[in-house]
Structure 1
Amino acid sequence: MKILKNILYLFAVVLLFGACDETDPITLSAEDASVAFDVYNPELGFKSASVKENSTTPLRIPITYSGLPGGSDITISLMVDNSSESNPAQQGVDFTLSSASITFTGGYGTQYVEVNPVDNNVYEGNKTFVLSIVAPEGMKSNTKNSIVVSLVDDEHPLKEFLGTYTVSYTSGFDGGNYSFDVLTSADPDDETSIVVTGWSSNDYGVVFPNDIKISVDKTNETVTLPLGQDLGASPYGPCYLYGWNLDDDSEIMDGSVVVTFDNSNYSIDFGDNAFAAYIYDGSNAGYWLGAYYNVVWTKK
């Protein structure tokens, strides 16, 4: 009797595993088909793409139809919306689209819509619009069916100062020569100001998280660097930008450093001005994290 029970149990197990054969096909239906932009920024959490206003090459945005081979042809529409944008781009004025609709044949595939920017030779700031896919009725919705497109204005009055600078300096602690790169970008709130990303203290291996700003007077060929700007957290405590003048050893804690720039290559020599990252809170408060002498910004 015991032997018979074991045989029946073994037979049931075989039937169970036979019903779960890994070779069983996965069934897909037409309702599983979807269409979406193939541009996604996981850090920002939404789709984004950009093109310079003066670009002679259009921005090509891929759109993928995920369906069944041999399936039905579909036509999607493309909708432009700028109603929620702070500086909206106008279709037909700031850009044109290669097509208002796209047809996919064969049940799947990737095609492109092209955004052609219009260069108007007037500074108006970066403009944006939202481009959305309007899929056929009944098609599965997709979270990637909209994309934010930015038209980057090339006529910024400080465009010569935008890009990457190498900041070279002599350390006030060990006398060594160091350098780090910063990225300069347009200040969206002030066209006479530049946002500086990546301020560092290489002799301590610290890259500060906060951006700082400098202002540029092109008429008088001067650059103003306000001190007291919050550089943000560091392993030693939060810091702000501190400075002093080497000529008279005077401290400049809350004022500004004003120097001239070279209008031939837009380099900036800070001369007799020295800087430091001043720790303003925590157990190390009152100490400097990095001291910068012979500071020169060289445009790459």
Structure 2
Amino acid sequence: MKQLKYIILTLLALTTFFACEQEDILFKEDMANVGFYGSSASMLEVDKENKGKDVLTVQILVTATLNSPSCNVTFDVDDSWYQKIGDFYYEIVDGDTTLVNPAIEGVDYNVVSEKSVTIAEGSGYAPVVLAAIDNNDFDPLGNKSFRLKITGNSLGYDLSSESVIKITIVDDDHPLGWMLGDYTSAVTETDNGSPEHPVNIAAIEGETDKVKIYGMAGLAYGPPLADPYFILGTVSEDQTTITIKAGQSWDDYDWGPVTLTVWEDDNGEGEEVDDLVGYISTDDGVTITFRQQYTFYITSGVNEGLGLQWAWNADANPNSPVAVWTRN
């Protein structure tokens, strides 16, 4: 009787094991599909460093079973996503109308490859080469974009979820292009910060005098050089100063909410003011010099009152440099 009990328990255990064993999911012929490898990509309008970044290669992907026959795939430019109304182009989705800036084939870019590719092995990738055309004009509507779509294939495969790819052409003709890029900020005196730290100044699409500034709060306590931690600045018409408004804040930063705070002088003995002014020089490269004390105050939480990346100058001369940003 005891032996029979053990046999029953063993059978139950084996039944449970096989019931729980996960079945392998096999890729079947009717699951084959065609699409692009990715749904978006970008390229430069012109690569001033001649590194080939104004030419882009995207991949068409055929997913099929092993030993499938050769597959020919066709694609074309998709102009159906926008329409012209008056002098402008708009994308209309679910009744919402958005102003867009479509790139035109032969004017803004060329499709270098034939609009047909063959995957001889039956599955895998095939390249499509695109090249931007430099127009030497700044576009106030910002970067242009276009879309390619798969139009068919020789084996009647389904389209994948990435049957359309959006390509963005990054405009190189921004009027502030000479000052955009990476800087090293050298701070005269600081607490809760670094004597030197990286800063990046980036363009705002469609804006000719406003920029995004990343990394201003420093690396020791500040956020990384990435969204959403940026500060807005406005460059003067004569391009000799940049004005950064105090009060700009990040509500979700790890140290707590932080707010840019600025004083009227270099050592914080004066009043708080609304504007931090940087003086731009292009005599030997690009430098931006600040002569007012500033910091990023934490406004609530356990770290309330702490300032991140203080910048000041304690010498006896008012409005001496507190930080100098030098373009790399």
**Shared fold by TM > 0.5?**
yes
The change in CA–CA distance for 1:278 and 1:107 in structure 2 (over 3 A counts) is: same
Deviation at 1:53, TM superposition (A): 0.6
The change in CA–CA distance for 1:72 and 1:241 in structure 2 (over 3 A counts) is: same
Matched-pair contact (CA < 8 Å) for 2:187–2:324:
yes
Deviation at 1:162, TM superposition (A): 1.5
Matches within 5 A, 1:125-204: 125-136=142-153, 138-173=156-191, 178-203=195-220
Matched-pair contact (CA < 8 Å) for 2:194–2:218:
no
The change in CA–CA distance for 1:73 and 1:228 in structure 2 (over 3 A counts) is: same
Q: Distance in 2 between matches of 1:210 and 1:25?
A: 45
Whether 1:32 aligns to 2:31 is yes
| Contiguous gaps of at least 5 residues in structure 2 | 83-90, 92-98, 313-321
Q: Distance in 2 between matches of 1:160 and 1:69?
A: 52
SS at 1:250 equivalent: coil
Whether 1:87 aligns to 2:115 is no
SS at 1:158 equivalent: coil
240, 245, 250: which one aligns with 2:270: 250
61, 67, 79: which one aligns with 1:64: 61
Amino acid at match of 2:243: T
Deviation at 1:3, TM superposition (A): 8.8
Matched-pair contact (CA < 8 Å) for 1:170–1:177:
no
The change in CA–CA distance for 1:273 and 1:156 in structure 2 (over 3 A counts) is: same
Normalising by the residue count of structure 2, what TM-score does the alignment of the two structures yield? Answer: 0.73
Amino acid at match of 2:120: T
Whether 1:206 aligns to 2:222 is yes
Q: Structure 1 stretches (4+) deviating beyond 6 angstroms?
A: 1-11
Deviation at 1:26, TM superposition (A): 7.6
What residue number does 2:236 align with? 217
Matches within 5 A, 1:112-127: 112-124=127-139, 125-127=142-144
The change in CA–CA distance for 1:71 and 1:228 in structure 2 (over 3 A counts) is: same
45, 49, 53: which one aligns with 2:45: 53
Deviations 1:145-203 (A, max 9, x none): 222211011111111121111222144437x8522212221112421111112332445
What residue number does 1:107 align with? 122
Deviation at 1:25, TM superposition (A): 9.8
Q: CA-atom RMSD, angstroms?
A: 3.8
Amino acid at match of 2:324: V
Amino acid at match of 2:65: L
Amino acid at match of 1:296: V
Matched-pair contact (CA < 8 Å) for 1:171–1:290:
no
Q: Distance in 2 between matches of 1:220 and 1:121?
A: 21
SS at 2:30 equivalent: helix
Matched-pair contact (CA < 8 Å) for 2:260–2:295:
yes
What residue number does 1:42 align with? none
The change in CA–CA distance for 1:179 and 1:69 in structure 2 (over 3 A counts) is: same
Amino acid at match of 1:60: T
Matched-pair contact (CA < 8 Å) for 1:171–1:177:
no
Matches within 5 A, 1:274-285: 274-282=293-301, 285=304
Q: Distance in 2 between matches of 1:228 and 1:132?
A: 46
Amino acid at match of 1:88: P
Q: Distance in 1 between matches of 2:218 and 2:5?
A: 77
Q: Distance in 2 between matches of 1:9 and 1:177?
A: 68
Matched-pair contact (CA < 8 Å) for 1:227–1:252:
no
Between the aligned residues of both structures, percent identity stands at: 29
What residue number does 2:85 align with? none
